[in-house]
């Protein structure tokens, strides 16, 4: 067990930055829920994160609607419908975002939510980057909607430090497939 979230976050980010980025699409393409959900909340990956670009393109090409986050000044998240990747605009902290904001409650209309994570524990604890954006946004997800965290296989671990405000996830999506947790 890690002594704190900060220690765990540093450990996983250091390891992640030392590895080549991998795409999530190979592990996701055959998953029934990704084939049937019509509206999926996702995010645009950055740097060494598990890559979401091909997954977003595949979902859009197959007629699904993809919601992407818009980071507000208070670190809360609004959501916009994904256009083509060329139509995204620069957002805060170097993020790529849709132009039109549907507001923070738009995530409640998603049939599947795929959020970023630094690591995921087998009990469903998700370790993010520490800003609290997704913990707030995930409270708005309609109960019963699956929430998956995108990580690498080595980032699915037995235990992580957690706080009462942390929102649990149902599975970890890795480049090799889905790992149920929780």
Domains and CATH numbers, the chain: 5-180 (3.40.50.10420)
Residue 134 counted as an annotated binding residue: yes
| pLDDT at 84 (0 to 100) | 55
Residue 176 counted as an annotated binding residue: no
Q: How far apart are CA 143 and CA 1, in angstroms?
A: 30
Computed over every residue of the chain, the mean pLDDT equals 94
Residue 49 counted as an annotated binding residue: yes
Q: Residue 4: which residues within 8 A CB-CB, separation 6 or more?
A: 161
Q: How far apart are CA 88 and CA 157, in angstroms?
A: 34
The length of the chain is: 182
Query: What's the pLDDT band for 97 if we cut at 50, 70, 90?
Result: confident
| pLDDT at 100 (0 to 100) | 86
In contact, 85 and 59? CB cutoff 8 Å? no
Query: What's the pLDDT band for 115 if we cut at 50, 70, 90?
Result: very high
* pLDDT per residue as tens digits for the range 16-30: 999 999 999 999 999
* pLDDT per residue as tens digits for the range 143-172: 999 999 999 999 999 999 999 989 999 999
HSE (side-chain half, CA atoms, 13 Å) at 29: 9
Q: How far apart are CA 172 and CA 150, in angstroms?
A: 6
Q: What's this model's pTM, rounded to 2 decimal places?
A: 0.94
């Amino acid at each position: 067990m890690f002594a704190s979230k900060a220690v765990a976050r540093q450990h996983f980010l250091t390891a992640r930055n030392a590895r080549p980025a991998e795409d999530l699409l190979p592990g996701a393409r055959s998953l029934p829920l990704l084939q049937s959900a019509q509206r999926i909340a996702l995010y645009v990956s950055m740097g060494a994160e598990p890559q979401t670009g091909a997954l977003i393109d595949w979902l859009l090409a197959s007629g699904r609607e993809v919601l992407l986050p818009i980071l507000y000044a208070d670190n809360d998240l609004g959501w916009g419908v994904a256009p083509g990747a060329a139509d995204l605009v620069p957002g805060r902290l170097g993020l790529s975002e849709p132009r039109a904001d549907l507001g923070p409650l738009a995530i409640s209309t998603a049939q599947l939510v795929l959020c970023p994570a630094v690591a995921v524990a087998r009990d469903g604890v998700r370790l993010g980057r520490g800003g609290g954006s997704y913990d707030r946004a995930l409270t708005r997800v309609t109960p019963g909607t699956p929430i998956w965290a995108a990580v690498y296989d080595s980032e699915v671990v037995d235990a992580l430090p957690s706080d009462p405000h942390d929102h649990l996830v149902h599975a970890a999506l890795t480049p090799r497939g889905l790992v149920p947790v929780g």
